[in-house]
Structure 1
């Protein structure tokens, strides 16, 4: 199969933007992606498009993909919509890679979009809830914060050295990074005292342990090895892709202290790329709640089970640590427009690997990982990216 490459990627700001529509947001992300292609890009080269979207608020539930791709001038290009909850556009990127590797397409637009801030909190809570198990979780009143609070409680109970302070440490780290990201929804630093003392949302999770609900869009341009030279002489290769599903309901799983879909997706991505977690220079992981970041450290092999708190204590995942995690600010600070999150992680990886991440640039970044989760672990997708010129040295 042919290799696939990211030749450009971009996103909008993430945040509350009531003046924007899903069409205008996608247009901005697409234009930013096109502008990032080193040697220029013509939309006439696009063979296919894939758009991730949950459909928060019920807007354009039918044909949202063609609605946005036609708006940006991709007339006649076949487009499909992927819905895998919060992992929607991560799976859209995976689908683009499959199209390129199979030979069915040479250039694919993969992205996502979501508008979430123009509704009441009750309506937003409902639309977030549809990504969980409906009958026994949502209809009995359990929220996503409640589900992840159960995971956090189980983790803190199982591992004696883990405390709620470690959740706050993850939040402080990500806010420090997000303050360096002009696209971030909550682009400000917070102190440990603020992160520890915030109001409880679902014990043990407090306000600083939870990501915001955001508007936004993101786009990645994926090209085959046959045409990548037309767009850049310093390509970012998609070296590995892995995906997995699991039971949608948390109560249906055997273990609340791991996300098995993440572990399986990570193993598949590492195997395809021919690398291990110790060969990564950075990672963007799905930290919808602070506990999710700690679990990702362990699920993806950054450390052993129960050892995530030590990575935080030692600064291993700080921007200047051995393995910076969520240099973008993560979902916690950068924001979480559901359908756009996964491709937004890819946009950050592209910036890091092409040296365009500004103040949050990871020094010497040559290989990185993105990790995107749907719901509380019903789906997960992992990509490994590498800058060919650098890893060949």
Structure 2
């Protein structure tokens, strides 16, 4: 099968875009990606839009045709892809497969979500749709409560301390300062995190990713199309995988391991011909601090129960062993859920293109982005590789 390359990237700033519609956001990011590639938009043959809740929150579905219409390229293949918070990663996976298979040569993967227009009760209802409505949601659980259960289980099983896990949020904010697209570009202290309001015991407010609006886009092209368009092939998609787990926590054997991450990572590492030790830059789905720690373990960067040590010892810093979330992560860059997976790939691509500014990792050549839907019900893994 053919090689697939990143031809262009684009994104909006994440924030509270009160005067902009979901259509406005995804059109902007898409045009930015096309402009970054330096090609005519009519070269795009297909579009996959990752989104979780537009139907419930905006009363707007059919995002593929909506986007192709407002981009001025009606007629292309286009559809929405939904996998809860992993919708962006799943959209990218479909775009990758579309080019890799030879069906299309130039495909746009877009992620978009607009959350701040909704009242809190509606947003809470939308997010818990990522789990079983007939049992979990009906019983009154919120998405935050489910992750609080994971947090408690992890501390009990491994004896980890909250102050060590909560450092993940401090880390994210440190690097978001240098990201012009980040929602919260300010540093915070551990005391700030631990003294913030309790949301669901033991999760504190500043351990949770915020709600926000945003859109990001990645333009993928085949090697043949890159040559035809006169584009330099710098960053290749070395692997893209998706895996699932039992949907709800109460049916799983271990709350502290996301089997879907392990499965997707195993597939992706094999496809890329690498192992965890070869990865230079990582983007993990830290919707909550505890998840960031667990993800580092399940991706193979730390032993089970020791992911927090990487954070505490500074090993996820720019000059550490596993540079992680160097553009602010979900906590500080922001988490417009259906768009998050594309933002993560955007941030990895920035590093590999050497355009991450003060947050640039020297000689970064392989990057991994992990996007999670629900509490690990779905996980996508994308591995990018700099080829020149």
Q: Normalising by structure 1, what TM-score?
A: 0.96
State the secondary structure of the residue aligned to 2:346. helix
**Matched residues in 1 for 2:299 and 2:264: separation?**
9
> Offset at 1:83?
0.5
What is aligned with 2:309?
A: 310
Q: Is 1:200 aligned to 2:195, yes or no?
A: no
What is aligned with 2:21?
A: 21
**Matched residues in 2 for 1:348 and 1:74: separation?**
27
**Matched residues in 2 for 1:272 and 1:189: separation?**
38
> Offset at 1:240?
1.2
**Matched residues in 1 for 2:69 and 2:262: separation?**
37
> Offset at 1:35?
2.6
Residue pair 1:112, 1:343 contacting (<8 A) in 2 also: yes
> Offset at 1:217?
0.5
Q: Is 1:6 aligned to 2:1, yes or no?
A: no
What is aligned with 1:73?
A: 72
Over residues 81-132 of structure 1, what are the superposed CA-to-partner deviations in whole Å (9 max), with x where a residue is unaligned?
Answer: 1000011011111101111111100000111111100111111111111112
Structure-to-structure mapping, 1:115-264, within 5 angstroms: 115-160=114-159, 162-229=160-227, 230-264=229-263
Q: Which runs of 5+ in 2 are unaligned?
A: none
Residue pair 1:22, 1:68 contacting (<8 A) in 2 also: no
State the secondary structure of the residue aligned to 1:8. strand
Q: Normalising by structure 2, what TM-score?
A: 0.97
Aligned residues: 386
Residue pair 1:84, 1:91 contacting (<8 A) in 2 also: yes
Structure-to-structure mapping, 1:45-56, within 5 angstroms: 45-56=43-54
> Offset at 1:176?
0.4
Which runs of 4 or more aligned residues in structure 1 lie more than 3 Å from their structure 2 counterparts after TM superposition? none
**Matched residues in 2 for 1:31 and 1:67: separation?**
14
Residue pair 2:7, 2:233 contacting (<8 A) in 1 also: no
What is aligned with 1:378?
A: 377
**Matched residues in 2 for 1:62 and 1:120: separation?**
19
State the secondary structure of the residue aligned to 1:283. strand
Q: Which runs of 5+ in 1 are unaligned?
A: none
**Matched residues in 1 for 2:26 and 2:235: separation?**
23
Over residues 313-345 of structure 1, what are the superposed CA-to-partner deviations in whole Å (9 max), with x where a residue is unaligned?
Answer: 211101221221101111111111111111111
Residue pair 1:240, 1:385 contacting (<8 A) in 2 also: yes
State the secondary structure of the residue aligned to 2:286. coil
Choose 228-237 or 5-14, whichever is displaced more.
228-237
The alignment yields a C-alpha RMSD, in angstroms, of 1.2
> Offset at 1:233?
1.9
